[in-house]
Amino acid sequence: MQGSPTKKCSFCHNQMGATICCCCRSEQEQNEQLTSVILSREPPPKEQCRGSLLVFINPHSGRGKSLETFAHTVAPKLDRSLIRYEVVVTTGPNHARNVLMTKTDLGKFNGILILSGDGLVFEALNGVLCREDAFSIFPNLPIGIVPSGSGNGLLCSVLSKYGTKMNEKSVMDRALEIATSPTARAESVALYSVKTETATYAAFLSIGWGLMADIDIESEKWRKLGGHRFTLMGFIRSCNLRSYKGRLTYRPYKARDYTPSSNVFSIYDKTTQQRIDDSTSITIPSFADSEDEEKHLKNQKTTWTLHDSEDTTSSESESDEEVVIEDDFINMYAVTLSHIAADGPFAPSAKLEDNRIHLSYILWKDIGTRVDIAKYLLAIEHETHLDLPFVKRVEVSSMKLEVLSDGSYVVLDGEVVETKSIQVSSTRNNICVFSSTA
Active site residue 278: no
Among 209, 199, 179, which Cα is nearest to 416's?
A: 209
Task: Give dist(CA 279, CA 286) in Å, integer.
Answer: 15
123: which DSSP letter?
Answer: H
Q: Which residues pair with 416 in a beta bridge?
A: 411
Cα angle value 161/166/167 (rounded, 5°): 155
Q: Is the dihedral of CA 400, 406, 412, 417 positive or negative?
A: positive
Annotated catalytic residue, options 118, 216, 354, 413: 118
263, 139 contact by CB (below 8 A) = yes
| DSSP string computed for 215-266 | HHHHTGGGGGGTTHHHHHHHHHHHHS---EEEEEEEEE---TT-------EE
* CB neighbour list of residue 6: distance below 8 Å, 6 or more residues apart: none
168, 342 contact by CB (below 8 A) = yes
| DSSP string computed for 264-299 | -EEGGGS-HHHHHHHHHHHHPPP-SSHHHHHHHHHH
Task: Give dist(CA 364, CA 241) in Å, integer.
Answer: 10
| DSSP string computed for 139-203 | TTS-EEEEE-SS--HHHHHHHHHTT--SSHHHHHHHHHHHHT-TTEEEEEEEEEEEEESS-EEEE
Bridge pairing between strands 83-89 and 18-20: unpaired
User: What amino acid positions are annotated as catalytic residues?
Assistant: 118
